[in-house]
Structure 1
Amino acid sequence: MRVSTIPLIILCLFMGFTFWVMAGAEQSLLAFGVQLMSSPDTAQVVIDLYILAGLACVWMYQDAKSRGKGLGYLVPFFILTAVFVSAGPLLYLVLRGGREQETEASKM
């Protein structure tokens, strides 16, 4: 299976940085989220990110549906999106690009 290179590089860099930061964090991810939501200015950023994450989930659902994939296929991407926001759509793009390239190559 071929994958999309650019989203794969971005995903690896983002997740590597995320795990590095989490390994040195003094508080849990949940405690950090609660702290962010306690102030209106940072809560606005978090809410904005989750609106974007919701829109990304809608896009992934519509794209997967047009490709004949069911909701069960998307559950891991949705969970990843709920926790790390951009990681779910990035992984979806990595895997989607590979399948799209294989389909185009088989038509030639």
Structure 2
Amino acid sequence: MKLSPLPLIVFCLFMGFTFWVMAGTEQSLLAFGAELMSSPDTAQVVIDLYILAALACVWMYQDAKKRGKGLGYLIPFFILTAVFVSAGPLLYLVLRGGREPETEPARL
């Protein structure tokens, strides 16, 4: 399996920082999310991130479908995306590798 190095580096740095922050915090991830949603300005950012996460899940589904992978393959990436937003798509890019699937030429 060929791993993509740039997404792997970003994924490792992001998850390392995430776990370091979570280890030092005094509140749960759910409590933190509830606190963010309690104010309109931070709720807007959270909603924006989850719209982006949904779009990333659509992209992962379409890409995996082109590569002949089923929905079962994507479930772990969707769960990771639901919890940490960018971690799911980053890990998908790491494991996807750099090759594009063979496709038909574009029709005009």
Give the equivalent residue in structure 2 for 1:5.
5
Shift in Å, 1:58: 0.1
Runs (4+) of structure 1 exceeding 4 A deviation are: none
Aligned partners of 2:24 and 2:8: how far apart in 1? 24
Amino acid of the residue matched to residue 50 of structure 1? Y
Equivalents in 2 of 1:2, 1:54: separation in Å? Answer: 26
Q: Residue 97 of structure 1: CA displacement? A: 1.3
Q: Which residue does the alignment assign to 1:50? A: 50
Matched, 1:32 2:66: no
In 2, Cα distance between the equivalents of 1:28 and 1:53? 21
> Aligned ranges for residues 1-108 of structure 1 at < 5 Å?
1-97=1-97, 100=99
Shift in Å at residue 2 of structure 1?
A: 1.5
Aligned-residue identity in percent = 85
Q: Give the AA of the match of 1:64.
A: A
Q: Distance in 1 between matches of 2:11 and 2:94?
A: 8
**CA–CA distance in structure 2, aligned partners of residues 73 and 2 of structure 1:** 17
Alpha-carbon distance between aligned partners in 2 of 1:26 and 1:76, rounded to the nearest angstrom: 27
The CA deviation string for residues 49-80 of structure 1, in whole angstroms up to 9 with x for no partner, is 00000000000000000111000000000000
Deviations 1:9-49 (A, max 9, x none): 00000000000000000100000000000000000000000
Q: How far apart, in 2, do the equivalents of 1:48 and 1:7 lie?
A: 22
Structure 1 Cα separation of the partners of residues 26 and 83 of structure 2: 18
Question: Residue type of the partner of 1:4?
Answer: S
Aligned residues: 102
TM-score by length of 1: 0.91
